[in-house]
Amino acid sequence: MHPSASSLPLSRRRLTALVLACTALASGAAMAQEVVKIGYSGPLSGGAAQYGKNVLDGAQIAVNEVNATNPEIGGKKVKFEIVALDDKYNPSETAINAQRLVQQHKTAAILVPHSGGIFALQTTNEAQNYLVLAYSSVPQITNRGNKLTLRIPPEFTTYIKPFSAYLMQRFGKKIALVGADHDYAKAWVAAFKPAWEAAGGTVVAENPMSYNRATDFYSGVSKALAAKPDVLFVGGASEPTGLVVKQARELGFKGGFFVMDQAKLDEMSKVTGGYEALEGAIGVLPVVADPSPAMKGFVERFHKLYPSRDPGSEVVWNYTAVHATLQAMKLAGSATDAKAIRANLDKAYKSLPPEQNPGGVTSVDAQGGASTVERGGAVEGGKIKLIAAAGAK
């Protein structure tokens, strides 16, 4: 039998009482701290796996930074957590993942980095009361009028005019379209083709390819090059896009490249063996080439976490978007009221310090679209040259 508390020596009784008190305090603190979960459904396997991981890394860095501040929502201490599910870039998988995230994990916000998956979620998210954090610059994402959507990057259409003018002046007006065949790439082509033609250009070939499932693009690129284009339109995830460029050069192509914003020039250069093969390519300005102090500071912090990697824009945009979402929850006083969270996003973005908003997001409009100044980068002489701001919104 265990001795009764009264029969223990005084010193042991005091020690026992202290241990019990500490245990009760710790248990109470753990119970008082609510876990708030943010969902993620994106590619974590397949050809776009690195792209999906970059998006997730940006979100996770933001969550870790906020958790370090012992955050509160509505007077209650909370801890944020990301629940990440792989959808292999397949919209039907995204929809399945969303149901699991909402029903099992009670997520009030789900981050999705591809337009097909975003559109799939927009069919149900208002009825199920969750916010879609949409990492895609397709204009239709906000044009549909979904009241619980945040479009994280600015619309891609603002890149088309300045990038096209640069390539036409430097290389010529004949272009072959050899981009990817997923929904985002199709939306890009639908907007790009008439704009190129309106500027006096000619589309001499169209041959979309499955960037996410293939590694040999020689046949598709050869067909496009047979039309003797001055420029190739390319774009999907960075790694396969780099392969398309590399194989085009190996087939003798000497012209320029219009690089869709999903692909990043600095990441492509690791596939092509440097910037030499990317001469004449224009795309979004790589984060590491951005001269702003806030971006330089972010790159420095990222390198401390990932010494062997450079952050891409998908890291930066989603880092800031998650910071803004968590701030909007604090402003709303709720981690579950998606409407209130959405209503506070504009104020949340504007309240972020520069180090949490290195891309300079200026506002969120009534349709849920984030606005900022977009900057392009062109490869000239083996180096990235900053192209004048492409516009805002």
CATH number at residue 119: 3.40.50.2300
Rounded Cα distance between 36 and 38, Å, is: 7
How many CB atoms neighbour CB 268 within 10 A?
A: 29
Structure-block tokens of residue 9: 């020596």
Confidence category of residue 375, pLDDT binned at 50, 70, 90: confident
Mean pLDDT to the nearest integer, 280-305: 94
Examine the domain organization and report whether 211 and 343 are in the same domain.
Answer: no
343 belongs to a structural domain: yes
Q: Are 276 and 382 in contact (CB under 8 A)?
A: yes
Examine the domain organization and report whether 258 and 325 are in the same domain.
Answer: no
Q: Which residue has the higher pLDDT, 233 or 22?
A: 233
Residue 25 clears pLDDT 80, i.e. is over it: no
Structure-block tokens of residue 342: 């959405």
Phi (first) and psi of residue 290, to 5 degrees:
-75, 125
Mean of all residue pLDDT scores within the chain: 90
Burial 172-197, CB ≥16 within 10 A → b, else e: bbbbbbbbbbbbbbbbbbebbbeebe
Rounded Cα distance between 247 and 245, Å, is: 5
Confidence category of residue 47, pLDDT binned at 50, 70, 90: confident
Rounded Cα distance between 304 and 306, Å, is: 6
Examine the domain organization and report whether 71 and 136 are in the same domain.
Answer: yes
Residue 29 clears pLDDT 90, i.e. is over it: no
Examine the domain organization and report whether 151 and 161 are in the same domain.
Answer: no
Residue 364 clears pLDDT 90, i.e. is over it: yes
224 belongs to a structural domain: yes
Instruction: Please state, for a pLDDT cut of 70, what percent of the chain lies above it.
Output: 90
Confidence category of residue 14, pLDDT binned at 50, 70, 90: low
Residue 195 clears pLDDT 70, i.e. is over it: yes
Residue 173 clears pLDDT 50, i.e. is over it: yes
8 belongs to a structural domain: no
Examine the domain organization and report whether 285 and 305 are in the same domain.
Answer: no
Examine the domain organization and report whether 151 and 166 are in the same domain.
Answer: no
**E-state strands within 335-381:** 363-364, 370-371, 373-380
Minimum mean pLDDT among 130-144, 318-332, 371-385: which range? 371-385
Instruction: Please state, for a pLDDT cut of 90, what percent of the chain lies above it.
Output: 78
pTM metric for this prediction: 0.78
Examine the domain organization and report whether 326 and 314 are in the same domain.
Answer: yes
- What's the pLDDT score for residue 183? 85
Largest CA distance in the chain: 97
Examine the domain organization and report whether 279 and 183 are in the same domain.
Answer: yes
Alpha-carbon dihedral sign for residues 51, 56, 62, 68: negative
- What's the pLDDT score for residue 391? 41
Examine the domain organization and report whether 229 and 243 are in the same domain.
Answer: yes
210 belongs to a structural domain: yes
Examine the domain organization and report whether 145 and 64 are in the same domain.
Answer: yes
DSSP-H helix ranges across the chain = 10-32, 49-67, 91-105, 115-121, 125-128, 140-143, 157-170, 183-198, 218-225, 238-250, 265-272, 293-305, 313-332, 338-343, 345-351
Residue 350 clears pLDDT 60, i.e. is over it: yes
* CA 37 to each of CA 8, 119, 211, 342: distance values in angstroms, whole numbers, following the listed order: 46, 22, 32, 16
- What's the pLDDT score for residue 18? 52
Rounded Cα distance between 157 and 173, Å, is: 19
Phi (first) and psi of residue 73, to 5 degrees:
-130, 120
Confidence category of residue 4, pLDDT binned at 50, 70, 90: very low
- Dihedral (Cα; 387, 388, 392, 393), 10-degree rounding: -10
Residue 193 clears pLDDT 50, i.e. is over it: yes
16 belongs to a structural domain: no
Examine the domain organization and report whether 260 and 387 are in the same domain.
Answer: yes
Residue 20 clears pLDDT 70, i.e. is over it: no
Give me the number of domains the chain comprises. Answer: 2
13 belongs to a structural domain: no
Alpha-carbon dihedral sign for residues 242, 375, 356, 324: negative
Q: Which residue has the higher pLDDT, 375 or 179?
A: 179
**Domain limits for position 97:** 32-155+292-371
CA-based end-to-end distance of the chain: 75
6 belongs to a structural domain: no
171 belongs to a structural domain: yes
Examine the domain organization and report whether 171 and 188 are in the same domain.
Answer: yes
